[in-house]
Structure 1
């Protein structure tokens, strides 16, 4: 196996952190933001981001460990997640798995649009894109849970 750089350019890090903050600020729901980050991180198999966002969701935002445990099968956990959360999670999956479907289904986008204002939807999409970028940065650099990210 070849050596991988663990360094992340300070300018890239600063830009990513600013984009993350801007996306989250416009969404306004810290629990939903963390659910989206966790679900994308599950799909991308990013242990570093999973560890960090589960901790933030539970410890900082008071999310229940039960809901976190059921997040991977949110469709089958009928009453565990509300319709707004389900729409956000479906959109998260569609955007995260874009390479397998080649597009975000109209039904998925339209359902999300029912539950979010246009500015909120723009911030939700930005949040999904940002966590996917973070996942790719951490996975490709082999950053382990709890390890140094920079």
Structure 2
């Protein structure tokens, strides 16, 4: 595997970082935000982002049990509350877009747990981490060396 430069154009990095920060802040739940970015990073096979966000999740109090089971959250029903499950379902739907759109029932499920502003921030966070994943995976940036 060839590792490409870690350097990203500063203007691009600032813009992506700003979206990530605003979305996390607007969501208002740092632990949930980390679960969302971890799940998207798993789906996108981004080792760099997984390494960074698993550490951040621990700092925000996400349990090891949840971290161990987030990849199978649907089967681990009692380990994730309904709000977390709605956010994770939306994360998968936006990240994968299998049918070219987010199913109405997935969106409605999320809308039942998040007000309009929180839902906008949640979607912004999902979009931001998918962008980061694509940048890091396309450049083959390995795990480690990140700064929170």
Give your verdict on TM over 0.5.
yes
Q: Which residue of 2 aligns with 1:16?
A: 16
How far residue 23 of structure 1 moved from its aligned partner, in angstroms, is 0.6
How far residue 62 of structure 1 moved from its aligned partner, in angstroms, is 1.5
2:2, 2:70 → 1: CA distance? Answer: 35
Identify which of 132, 135, 141 aligns with 2:139: 141
Q: Which runs of 5+ in 2 are unaligned?
A: none
How far residue 7 of structure 1 moved from its aligned partner, in angstroms, is 2.4
The correspondence of residues 19-38 of structure 1 with structure 2, limited to 5 A, is: 19-38=19-38
2:65, 2:5 → 1: CA distance? Answer: 36
The alignment of Structure 1 onto Structure 2 pairs a total of residues equal to 147
Q: Could you say what the CA RMSD is over the residues aligned between the two structures, in angstroms? A: 1.6
**TM-score, normalised with respect to structure 2:** 0.94
Q: Which residue of 1 aligns with 2:90?
A: 91
How far residue 6 of structure 1 moved from its aligned partner, in angstroms, is 3.6
Q: Point out 4+ residue stretches in structure 1 off by more than 4 angstroms.
A: 1-5
How far residue 148 of structure 1 moved from its aligned partner, in angstroms, is 5.7
Q: Which residue of 2 aligns with 1:108?
A: 106
1:138, 1:75 → 2: CA distance? Answer: 27
Q: Which runs of 5+ in 1 are unaligned?
A: none
Residues 19 and 128, structure 2, Cα contact 8 Å, conserved in 1: yes
**TM-score, normalised with respect to structure 1:** 0.93
